[in-house]
Amino acid sequence: MSEEAKLLIKMENWYAVYVNVRHEKKVVEKLLQQNIEAYSPTIKKQQQWSDRKKWVEFPMLTGYVFVKINLLDKEKILFNPSVFSFVKFNNEEAKIRDEEIDILKSIEKTGYDVTSEVKGLKLNDEVEILQGFLKGHKGILVQFGSEDYVQIELLSLKQNVKVKVPKNILKLN
C-alpha cells in the first residue's frame, strides 16, 4: 500500500453504517461512550394516543447512523451488535462530505417538516432557498397537490430528503 493510501485511511471522514431499525439512538449513544463521533438526525412528530398527544423523536433516515472515523477504527464500529455494515459503493466505504452532514443538521435544527423521499418523483425546477437556516442550499422543486417541497439530494448516500418550505422563500436557479 502506498504512503498516500495509508494517509487517506488515517484521515477522519464521515461514513454511513447500516443499523437495526429503531436502534439508531442506542447505536449513537454506545459509540459516543467509546469516544467515536456518531450522528443520527432526528425529526419530531406529534403522536396521538387515546388520552393525550405527545411530540416524539424519530430518525430522519431510518436504519442509518453516521460516524466520523478513520478507517483503521472500522472494527470498533462493526463490533456493535446493532451495526450491520458500512454503506459501500463500488466496494468502498461511502464517504459522506461534511457539507452533507451540515445540511442534515440544519434541516434538523429548522424544524421544517422533513420526510423520506417517495419513489418515482419527477424532478422539475432547480431552486435555491433564500431565507432561514437552509439559506443558500439548492434543491429540486417537487409538487404534491397544493404543497411545494424542496428536494435536497445527499449524493454520497444516494438518498433524498424532502423539506417543506414556503414558496415565497424560493428562487429559480
One domain for residues 85 and 133: no
One domain for residues 87 and 9: yes
One domain for residues 58 and 122: no
pLDDT digits (tens, 9 = 90+) for 49-67: 888 888 888 888 889 999 9
User: 16 and 27 in contact (C-beta within 8 Å)?
Assistant: no
Predicted TM-score (pTM) of the model is 0.70
One domain for residues 64 and 134: no
Residue 149 inside a domain? The answer is yes
> What pLDDT sits at residue 110?
72
- The residue range of the domain holding 85 is 3-96
One domain for residues 9 and 76: yes
Residue 145 inside a domain? The answer is yes
Q: Is the pLDDT of residue 108 over 70?
A: yes
Q: Is the pLDDT of residue 143 over 60?
A: no
> What pLDDT sits at residue 100?
86
> What's the structural domain count of the chain?
2
Residue 131 inside a domain? The answer is yes
Selected residue with higher pLDDT from 108 and 30? 30
Residue 152 inside a domain? The answer is yes
Q: Is the pLDDT of residue 122 over 50?
A: no
> What pLDDT sits at residue 120?
43
- Residue 68: CATH number of its domain: 3.30.70.940
One domain for residues 52 and 81: yes
